[in-house]
Chain A
Amino acid sequence: MTTLRILLGILVLVVFALINTVVVMWCERKWAGHMQSRLGPMRTGWHGLMQPFADALKMLGKETFVPDAADKILFAIAPVLAYTPAIFVYCATPWVANFAGYSLDVGIFMVFAIAALFPVSIVIAGWSSRNKYSLLGAFRAVAQQISYEVPMILSVLGVIMLASSMRLSTIVESQAHVWNLVTQPFAFLLFFIGMLAELNRTPFDLAEAESELVGGYMTEYSGMQFAMFFLTEYANMFTWSLFAAMLFLGGWNGPGPALLGFVYLLIKTYAVVFMVIWVRWALPRLRVDQLMAFSWKVLIPAAILNAFLTALGILANVWVLIALQLAMVAGFVWLISLIGVRAGSAVRGDAPEVSS
């Protein structure tokens, strides 16, 4: 009986994960289209709803190349290893109050630990392709992801302190009255930026972009194996947005019956997904050394500062906490603008002088 329940649960979770991956793919294509004053997929199903299915099925039917010199076993494992963590984390995720596969004391910790498997799969993919440029691209992507996991984890420290627990359901319940977005806006900002880098999204998508010139880790893959990497990106997007919603946006809390909490959670998740897509299509990308410098020199000190000041704020009272957080946000934004605009201008100002 219990075994059956477990198997059923796994099936439901996997199907749920796949459906959401596909929905996120559709959202990306449509929202990107609308932001760019065009429509995006329209013909495949109503307003393109079936487009991701068509893409996935078509990829299934493509010929699969395996390079001669490639390490066959590792080459085959890499895509599977990439997709697995995205689903694996769901087993400990609480969807509504008191409903989780397995509610762990160290829920958050486990999530990050599992998500850290993804860089491993990238290295395996790059290595097994036996392509110098794939390997270099894989190294870069891994360096990026590892660097940005640190500020993400540190930024969550404040949330853990506020909830006094690492258990995910406790964290969400602690937001019943006030979302962590209000008491930890700076941490949310850091978490969001770290999330973008984890997902290899612009402005941190050098693994996909320059590596199109140099050769990314998934260049040698085709057919279904490529489809798995492709789906992984969107699955991760959903996963991380889900955690952002749970950690900062109050999870399933909302007016009405408890079961409606699931709907609220999904709405909040897709709000974060929208922000991720929006940022991708609006911003240019950073160069690799700028990216690494940003993580190690700006985000990590900021995250440590956040943890420190949050602790002070908890010791004081909630208004001090919010004030400190808002001050940090303002300071961060000012710092960025300083790096970007003013430090970059030439002596006589920016705009070209016009002579006649």
Chain B
Amino acid sequence: MAVDPVIVDEESKILVAPLQFLMNWARGHSMWPLTFGTACCAIEMMTVGSARYDTERYGIFFRNSPRQADCMIIAGTINLKIAPRVKLLYEQMSLPKYVIAMGSCAVSGGPFADGYNVVQGVDQIIPVDIYVPGCPPRPEALMNALLMVMERNSAGELSAAEVFAAEHRALGVSE
């Protein structure tokens, strides 16, 4: 399901500029992650939304439906059985979408990397924007990652999803 990334050409920049400023501001202050917690990191992800760390202060509001989410936090190990679901969920998200690989397992397979059933990092399946190392990462680390995503979104940088889609089109490969 290939979608064109948002490409603003020179002429329309003049008209879009003030709206773009508003949009960037909005995107930098409102981020709705999709929870995809498989394993231990999911507990720390729940913790980051709880009272002590409170991601809602930054406008981060966890959603359960992929269509309404901006960012997918892969928290936990991905194995061969769940890999197709990860891909399906990712494809159901609407642009602009970001992916945070939380924890060593999502980054590279973690302590289970040499297992016969463990995918070595979720970036083997979907494009990842931010990698958060740790086993599990502290809630502050995940919060930092979410804030980095918001900064990227508000700076108008292309997300990994858009870069990937553009590269695929350049190669002439259909998804």
Contacts and interface: CB of A to CB of B under 8 A. Distances in A.
Say whether A associates with B: yes
Interface of A: 29, 33, 36-44, 48, 50-51, 53-58, 60-65, 212, 219-223, 226
A40 B56 contact: yes
30 contacts: A33-B56, A37-B51, A38-B51, A38-B54, A39-B56, A40-B54, A40-B57, A42-B58, A48-B59, A51-B29, A51-B30, A55-B59, A57-B30, A58-B26, A58-B27, A58-B30, A60-B23, A61-B23, A61-B26, A61-B96, A62-B70, A63-B95, A63-B96, A64-B94, A212-B64, A212-B65, A219-B67, A221-B67, A222-B68, A222-B94
B63 to A, nearest CB: 10
A337 B54 CA distance: 35
B82 interface: no
A33 B54 CA distance: 9
Question: Size class of B's contact patch?
Answer: 20 to 34
B25 interface: yes
B155 interface: no
Interface of B: 3, 22-23, 25-27, 29-30, 50-52, 54, 56-59, 61, 64-65, 67-68, 70, 94-96
A41 B26 contact: no
Given A44-B29, A53-B26, A58-B26, A29 B56 contact: yes
Nearest to B31: A58
B94 A63 contact: yes
A236 to B, nearest CB: 19
A228 to B, nearest CB: 13
B57 A39 contact: yes
A226 B68 contact: yes
Contacts of A220: 67
Given A55-B61, A57-B26, A220-B67, 19 more contacts: A33-B54, A38-B50, A38-B52, A39-B56, A40-B54, A41-B59, A43-B57, A44-B59, A48-B57, A51-B30, A54-B26, A55-B26, A57-B22, A57-B30, A58-B30, A61-B23, A62-B70, A62-B95, A63-B94
A223 B94 contact: yes
B54 to A, nearest CB: 4
A29 B56 CA distance: 9
Contacts of B94: 62-65, 222-223
A48 B54 CA distance: 13
A152 to B, nearest CB: 30
Nearest to B3: A63
A55 B70 CA distance: 11
Nearest to B1: A65
B67 A222 contact: yes
B67 A39 contact: no
Nearest to A50: B29
A51 B68 CA distance: 17
A127 to B, nearest CB: 18
Contacts of A63: 3, 94-96
A67 B22 CA distance: 29
B67 A65 contact: yes
Contacts of B51: 36-38
A206 to B, nearest CB: 15
Contacts of B22: 57
A55 B3 CA distance: 23
B57 A57 contact: no
A31 to B, nearest CB: 12
Contacts of B52: 38
Nearest to B53: A38
